[in-house]
Amino acid sequence: MPDTTALKSTDAPAAAVDAPPVTDSGPAPGKPRSLWSDAWHDLRRNPLFLISMVLILLLVVMAIFPSLFTSASPRDADLAKHYLQHPNWGHFFAPDWLGYDGQGRSIYARLIYGARASIMVGVVVTIAVTVLGLIIGMIAGYFGGWIDTILSRVTDIFFGVPFIVGAMVILTSFEQRSVWVVILSLSFLGWTQIARVARGSVITIKQADYVVAAKALGASTTRILTRHILPNAIAPVIVVATIALGGYIAAEATLSFLGIGLAEPTVSWGIDVSAASAQLRNAPYVLIIPSVMVSITVLSFLMFGDAVRNALDPKMR
Amino acid sequence: MGRYVIRRLLQMIPVFFGTTLLIFLMVNVMGDPIAGLCGDRQCDPATAARLRSEFGLDKPVWQQYLTYMGNVFTGDFGTAFNGQKVTELMSTAFPITIRLTVVAIVFEVVIGITLGVVTGLRRGRPVDTTVLILTLVVIAIPTFVTGLLLQLLLGVKWGIIKPSVSADPTFDELLVPGLVLASVSLAYVTRLTRTSIAENARADYVRTAVAKGLPRRRVVVRHLLRNSLIPVVTFIGTDVGALMGGAIVTERIFNIHGVGYQLYQGILRQNSQTVVGFVTILVLVFLAANLIVDLLYAVLDPRIRYA
């Protein structure tokens, strides 16, 4: 294909405008940095980004190798230890460090093992929603006309369904509510925002000179969409997706709290909060500890998304 | 203006039918509407068949949907399977949830916009950074955590409020639940207002207003704020529907018998008429709120005209 060398450009128009002429640590001094290396340059210096990165890495390791953090099992119930100990701050990271819950299970072990469900739901739903939303949004934005009308109305329709209510309806129809069922229900309703953002972004980009040129040179539609439009339209989508990730983790916890998301024997912070809320008066710490964990997890992803947005969207500075 | 409203109303029709059809399919195809009818046991086949024909569940789904919609337009939302009219449930549930939503919106507008203006005008100062980090923290804490913690602290520990509200709650009983419901949106409103104010603060018309010698208060409220409100109003408008549907968590924590409670019960007992009926109304509220927001644009920015 003759058009590749002449037209291949990953620079978004926005980055080209404000790229500084002299760079101190860019990839090639003197050359304008691409949007991505510019963003990375910013991110490395952002304390919020670094803190959230460390927290997220820790949570991901916790989700994959929970046994690195505790030797206790989250499902070992010993009723003799029913609400046995209040948090025992002196005993760092021992199974009884944070006390025991109503069924005599180590709260600390459940805290560690609960990361897997949350991280999995957050990451997989975000990927599913991004892929689905990108496909629908790009097709609607690129082709326009009646295709756009139909796809936009379908997006409106899915957007109109109240999110938690819709997810609950889907979840109740499954007998076994595994992590994958929760992922399915959240992805089924969650793609609308990405589709709208992708559509808007594609509509502004499809008029760019490099797209017109690629078309004039006879590039196929698939090639234009994947090689020219996608790399330039994806920045706002990534921003929305990273911020939404935290929201999906919160949604999983909320559904599990309502008793309609994950179910035992899956270990989930939402289930633990739900179980503890019945004993609010007697053992508030059983409720507070997993609640704080959910909040910290969501906060890490939100901070991450916020930092990425500030780096990718020069207008916000 | 009139023509614009009519065009918008026409555009809403497919969305309304699409959304209600979607929820109808989700409830009726994915779930089993008579599953909850025989208590916790399975229905025996004969009873199941009789119930199916009694409720018209043996007909094709599209026919069921048409019958249902036909009934809805004559004001008949059907009977919840316990024999109560769905409209009866609605007439007790909606006033409560509307009160709760009003409290939440008032919090969003008063606290959210005030904080947004204060921080937007002091961008980069310590107040701004503090509020910005605080809003992130508030957004990160799921509603059920906020609700349970406030219930624990204010209700159980300090006894300032009653942990759960009465059957027909008044506005002051709903203050704390309203704040809980509003919390996440409140933080979003703050951030949106802040960004919008900070962007517009450098606009020419603000400089002109200052140069004219107008008092600072007037510049901020009449010139800057009015022009910065469009994105905020859009957000609050779409949030009305989200708040009413999302009240499910708040209502469960504070034992409020509103829309969220009925929906929760309906979904748990697979009570399809209740679920579809309530969601239909919520969709209508959502669409109406969006229309009102669009019309408000012209009030905020007279340059916007509707032909």
| C-alpha separations of A230 from A127, A154, A209 in Å | 16, 22, 15
pLDDT tens string B223-247: 888 888 888 888 888 888 888 877 8
CA distance B57 to B55: 5
CA distance B114 to B128: 12
pLDDT tens string A134-144: 999 999 988 88
Residue B158 in domain = yes
Which pLDDT value is given to residue B120? Answer: 87
Return the amino acid letter for A166.
Answer: G
CB contact under 8 A, B26 and A170: yes
CA distance A6 to chain B (A): 37
Residue B87 in domain = no
B101 and B238 in one domain? yes
Tokens standing for residue A106: 């180590």
Write A89-95 long-range contacts (CB < 8 A, 24+): A93/A69, A95/A70, A95/A71
B231 and B106 in one domain? yes
B244 and B97 in one domain? yes
Residue B86 in domain = no
Which pLDDT value is given to residue B107? Answer: 92
pLDDT tens string B18-75: 888 888 888 876 666 666 566 666 667 777 777 777 766 777 777 888 888 888 788 7
User: Whole-number mean pLDDT of chain A?
Assistant: 80
B275 and B261 in one domain? no
B296: closest CA among B288, B107, B185? B288
The answer to whether the complex's ipTM is over 0.85 is no
CA of B239: which chain A residue's CA is closest? A162
CB contact under 8 A, B270 and A164: no
Which pLDDT value is given to residue A10? Answer: 39
Which pLDDT value is given to residue B82? Answer: 67
CB contact under 8 A, A154 and B18: yes
CATH of the domain at B232: 1.10.3720.10
B98 and B67 in one domain? no
CA distance B278 to B79: 12
The answer to whether A284 faces chain B, any CB pair under 8 Å, is yes
B259 and B130 in one domain? yes
Return the amino acid letter for B116.
Answer: G
CA distance B22 to B14: 12
User: Whole-number mean pLDDT of chain B?
Assistant: 82
B253 and B133 in one domain? yes
CB contact under 8 A, B18 and A156: yes
Number of inter-chain CB pairs under 8 A, A vs B: 128
Which residue matches tokens 């633990």? Answer: A272
pLDDT tens string B123-155: 878 888 888 888 888 888 888 888 888 888 887
Q: How many distinct structural domains can be found in chain B?
A: 2
CB contact under 8 A, B144 and A257: yes
B132 and B66 in one domain? no
Residue B229 in domain = yes
Residues in A touching B242 (Cβ below 8 Å)? 162-163
pLDDT tens string B246-297: 788 888 888 888 888 888 888 887 777 788 888 888 888 888 888 888 888 7
CA of A153: which chain B residue's CA is closest? B15
CA of B158: which chain A residue's CA is closest? A281
Contact B179, B173 (CB under 8 A): no
Which residue matches tokens 């019958």? Answer: B67
What predicted TM-score, i.e. pTM, was given to this entire model?
0.84
CB contact under 8 A, A172 and B156: no
CB contact under 8 A, B26 and A166: yes
User: Who contacts B294 (Cβ-Cβ below 8 Å, separation ≥6)?
Assistant: B8
Question: Which residues in chain A show pLDDT less than 70?
Answer: 1-33, 76, 79-96, 314-317
The boundaries of the domain holding residue B145 are 92-268
CB contact under 8 A, B140 and A284: no
Residues in A touching B287 (Cβ below 8 Å)? 160
B41 and B187 in one domain? no
Nearest by CB to A294, from B142, B268, B283: name it.
B142
B61 and B193 in one domain? no
Percent of chain B's residues with pLDDT above 70 = 92
Residue B85 in domain = no
Percent of chain B's residues with pLDDT above 90 = 5
Which pLDDT value is given to residue A90? Answer: 67
Contact A59, A303 (CB under 8 A): no
Residue B184 in domain = yes
B191 and B285 in one domain? no
CA distance B53 to chain A (A): 21
Which pLDDT value is given to residue A135? Answer: 92
User: Who contacts B241 (Cβ-Cβ below 8 Å, separation ≥6)?
Assistant: A160, A162, B282, B283, B285, B286, B289
CA distance A242 to chain B (A): 13
Residue B206 in domain = yes
Which pLDDT value is given to residue A126? Answer: 93
Residue B183 in domain = yes
B188 and B98 in one domain? yes
Which pLDDT value is given to residue A133? Answer: 93
Q: Cis link prior to B14 (omega < 30° from 0)?
A: no
* Domains annotated on chain A, with CATH: 38-62+103-316 (1.10.3720.10)
**Angle between helix B113-121 and helix B226-253 axes, rounded to 10 deg:** 130
CB contact under 8 A, A157 and B18: yes
Tokens standing for residue A176: 């076994």
CB contact under 8 A, A287 and B286: no
Write B83-87 long-range contacts (CB < 8 A, 24+): B86/B273, B86/B274, B86/B277, B86/B278, B87/B277
CA distance B83 to chain A (A): 22
